[in-house]
Structure 1
Amino acid sequence: MVRYLEGHRGGGGLMDAAVASAALGRGTGHLWQRQVLEGVVSRVPEFAGTRKRALVRAIFRMLGVGDAPDNVDSHAFDVSALHPWAAVQAVAVKAILAGGRAPVGRDDVTLLVSTQRPGTVWEGNLLVHLSVLHALVNVPGMEGVVDAGLRTTFMHQREDGGLPFVTDTDTWCTVIAGLALCSSGAPHEVLHHIAGHLVRVQHANGGWSYTDGAQLTDTDCTTVAVEFLHELDADTYRDPIRYAVDSLIAVRGADGGFPTYGAGTPSEACMTAAAVNALSTQGRHDDVVQPALRFLADCQKSDGSFPPGWSGSCLHTPFRAYLAAHPGSRQFPPVVHDMNRRIIGLVQASQNEDGGFGQRNGAPSDAISTAYALIILLGQADPAPAVRAARYLLAQQRSDGGVSSVPDMLGPRPFPYHVPLLTDAFTLLALGHLTRRIRHSGVIVPPRRHLGTEPATTAGNPVAPSCSRPLDTDLAHPPSGTAASSPDSGEA
């Protein structure tokens, strides 16, 4: 662990450098901690700011630096509208910040201990697991619980000496990879094998969790699973789709938006766009979709971006919102068309000279942000920006077929963690959109050969996509009926 932390003192951002130095006993000044605190709070949704401020203070407290603050906003510990992970984290943070000055209440101890089972990380969340252990370490009689919890923690230490934020993200990776493979013409037997796994891990309430070891379902996984199963075979997977749609509608907020987690938690722009994309595959629920789109439009900032979500890239929510609100068979009010125009303007203004896009305007280009942007660019009449983005994206591919990029996922927000497969999946998804925008010609392009494989296409005879449905306005497929999809428009 020490070797791992030593290797991360000089990189990974201000937060990583600060916590590594603190853990190694190198100290962090109050100014440094304050800079970290303000930097973190500025990059999270407004409704979570108070809790994140308390969490950062607790992290420094756990690492033995920083004083126990007297002025923590009590709202940071209000669990009445929190999903279970956030509620346990808030209770643990409250105990940590008390610093032994106040006894931990019996109900709090009961809640914290309920998450501890030897050999199992509750909900697969190692950060919450470790926070609970820190909260219990000074509680009389909890020595055995803490020791068992530490043994469980070390079961997940990686070869590099470090520990992950969560045990795995298998289901989230599976739904995104399945959708990307479906959009790009993977074999049916592969796609149905993936779908069979998803059906097996679907929860009783109809939703999916980010990993099969978690019980809390989320809008993100559920919406993408709906799209994938619908695109693959809507008849075969009719029942799982119906259960999933019911679970989505059940968590819809009174404001028309959708939260990441259960009913009653705050609606978010990215989750609302995801829900619209999933519900739109069903050709109904217009009474749900229209208010959701209005909520989405109301969330948008003047520059075309949206409040922070679960991605480090400011283009993640725009690409999902763009697909959710792209003109098709549904009629949209002017405010939704205005939202899309601002999204397009944001993307057009942020392309770098190398053709790629960064996580923020002016940031160096990275593959996953470019994949998000390319999906938006492919809906425009001018092919030149899309060509430049595609050229950059293809240049990031390694010899093994994978794609290199910066960490993109955030958890807990705004701390980034890296899941390399997601870069491959979102790149493949963008390339699936791209291939449906290209007019096939008779020009023979020599295929890239790999050992033991044969070319997948011949001139003028591309392999047919595995997914049998026509193009639709959702995450899996580019919008139909646009200038870019017209035979007479300027294809890339």
Structure 2
Amino acid sequence: MGPDAAVRDPCRSRVLESALTMRLLERTGLRPDLYAAVETYVQRQAPETTGFERTMAEITLGGKNVRSDVLAEVVRAAPDFTGSRKRVLAQALLAVVGAPGEITWEPAAFDTAFLHSWASVQMTAAKVILAAVSGQSARISDEDVRCLADTQRAPRLWEGNVLIHLSVLHALTLLPNTGRLVAAGVDTLAAQVRSDGGLPFVSDVDTWCTATAGVALAAVNAAEPTLRALADRLAACQQPGGGWSYSDTAVQTDVDDTSVAVQFLDRVDSRRYRGSVRRGIRSLMAVRGTDGGFPTYVAGAASEASMTAAALDALTLRSDRHAGHIAEGLRFLVSQQNEDGSFPPDWSSSRLHTVCRVLLCTSRRPRSGSATVRRMVGRAAALVIGGQNDDGGWGQQAGDASDVISTAYGLTALCSIPDADPRAAAVAAEFLAHAPRGADGLQAIPDSIGPRPFVFTVPVLAEIFTLLALGHFDRRLAAPAARAQGTTRG
């Protein structure tokens, strides 16, 4: 927590962006002072990566072979409604690093209706890249070029997104009369090089860290001045329309950040932040789908289970006003649940992320809900209880070794199940309490995803979700004694 009360931890380097940077510097001849460091990073990290990123690194380092299933792997790991866009994006990224392969044109993937600003720019860049490398430049319009060029007008990295910035620069290098724009863009990119020589996905996720850290600190009853400072900082980051973005360098709002920010502000001081909370809920309701669910970014986009659970959790603050919306949202969640109790892929590598959110939001109103909602809750609870490993933790997917963040989700979920075995929660807490630490804090495998399905690392998030889980555990321990003394309503 810095002097400005923001919880800041820069995003760590990733092979995907670093390989793209290496190829960009090769193609343009710009900033030779950076090339060696980026190349060394890619060489060092390539053996540690898998899947699509491994392929990107190997091609950039001179390899010629591309696994035949690499595109299908990307599509399979993303939500169904993003399939065509993910395939096109992966094709474009492979094309700019020089991977051989046939390019298939998918016009539907370039339809920007109902796309948020980042996706719109990203898909426009992919369109320009694929059109240029396949000899179909007639498909590139003046509007496409304007969309890309506009991201390079600001004095800093557009929306704090390094991957989109790189995609745009690669697209611009394939067009005439773009030399000055590209050179300026490379200078902007240079400011994002990390100490290990690599490039990150985004500059930071500081607003997300501040909001989630606030919720975690509130869960363990941190000092009121600390919570108030965090809340003031968060309120100052609210966008004019009422929502929040992931970083104070971005303006594209999303349901995830907005839901958590609203909850935290209301928890700290519902009167002081009444206006911020009201505008935040209005922002959420503005993107709500006709199916009762909530998308990640904009109205008209596909609703998602994880975002819906987060938004419903925020709406429980005003459950008297939003009872109907909550009921409809729960019906959407029921429709999204898989037979094993899990939900479709979201913005986390762990299947427990959405499950945890669903159990949290339904635990706020434990005696309400239809039989189908109760069945959904029962399935989710069974997945959590049955998925715990012998060491007390949970892995990202069934059969995976336990990791810190998945275990934090698992323990939080377990504490939301009324009749859960307290011994299971105790061994999970023990796992977290004794998790090894390194220079960056808790040693945790990365969990956050962006864009789907690529994983990125912000180490402080492991600390945040662990603290939140232990806070839930502590409250569950205290609840029976408090009820016995008549100090809670149960």
Tell me which residue corresponds to 1:446: none
The 8 Å contact of residues 259 and 266 in structure 1, kept in 2 or not, is answered as yes
Q: Which amino acid aligns with 1:82?
A: L
**Aligned mate of 2:117, from 84, 87, 101:** 84
1:273 equivalent in alignment to 2:306:
no
1:38 correspondence with 2:57: no
Q: CA deviation at 1:433?
A: 0.4
Q: Does residue 329 of structure 2 align to residue 292 of structure 1?
A: yes
Deviation at 1:283, TM superposition (A): 3.0
User: Which of 429, 443, 446 pairs up with 1:390?
Assistant: 429
Normalised to the residue count of structure 1, the TM-score between the two structures is: 0.87
The range that moved more, 115-124 or 142-151, is 115-124
Change (3 A) 1:68 1:243: same
Question: What per-residue deviation string (whole Å, max 9, x for no partner) do you get for residues 254-295 of structure 1?
Answer: 110001101111110000000000010223211211101110
Whole-angstrom CA distance in 1 between matches of 2:469 and 2:42: 35
Task: Calculate the TM-score normalised by the size of structure 2.
Answer: 0.87
Aligned partner of 1:35: which letter?
A: D
1:430 is matched by which residue type in structure 2? A
State the one-letter code of the partner of 1:431. L
Post-superposition shift, 1:102? Answer: 2.1
8 Å Cα contact 2:128-2:171 kept in structure 1: yes
Aligned pair 1:224/2:260, yes or no? yes
Percent identity between the two aligned chains: 44
Shift in CA distance, 46/234, structure 1 to aligned 2, threshold 3 Å: same
Tell me how far apart the structure 2 counterparts of residues 439 and 171 of structure 1 sit (CA, whole Å). 31
The corresponding residue for 1:323 is: 360
In 1: Cα distance, 2:367 partner to 2:379 partner: 20
Task: Tell me how large the CA RMSD over aligned residues is.
Answer: 2.0
SS at match of 1:72: coil
Mapped partners of 2:310, 2:293: distance in 1 = 10
The question of whether the paired residues in 1 share the 8 Å contact of 2:440 and 2:459 is answered with no
2:184 aligned with 1:145: no
- Preserved CA contact (<8 Å) 2:114 2:299: no
Instruction: Give the match for residue 160 of structure 1.
Output: 196
Counterpart residue type for residue 22 of structure 1: I
Which residue, 409, 419, 430 being the options, matches 2:448? 409
CA–CA separation in structure 2 for the residues paired with 1:151 and 1:402: 32
Indicate if the aligned counterparts of 1:118 and 1:152 stay in contact, CA closer than 8 A.
no
Specify the SS of the correspondent of 2:393. Answer: coil
Summarize the Cα distance change of 1:440–1:337 in structure 2 as closer, same or farther, 3 Å threshold.
closer
Structure 2 Cα separation of the partners of residues 68 and 95 of structure 1: 16
Partner of 2:277: 241
The one of 100, 107, 111 equivalent to 1:66 is 100
> 2: distance between equivalents of 1:439 and 1:213?
40
Question: Residue 95 of structure 1 aligns with which residue?
Answer: 128
Q: CA deviation at 1:177?
A: 0.4
Gaps of 5+ in 2: 1-37
Give the Cα separation in 2 of the matches to 1:272 and 1:44.
Answer: 18
Q: CA deviation at 1:36?
A: 2.0
Counterpart residue number, 1:484: none
- Gap runs ≥5 in structure 1: 443-459, 461-469, 472-479, 482-492
- Is residue 134 of structure 1 aligned with residue 170 of structure 2? yes
* Matches of 1:329 and 1:375, distance apart in 2: 16
Aligned residue-pair number: 443
Indicate the structure with greater helix content: 2
Give the structure 1 partner of residue 217 of structure 2.
181
Runs (4+) of structure 1 exceeding 6 A deviation are none
In structure 2, what is the Cα distance between the partners aligned to 1:53 and 1:246? 34
> Is 1:7 matched up with 2:49?
no
1:330 CA drift (Å): 5.4
Question: What's 1:251 paired with?
Answer: 287
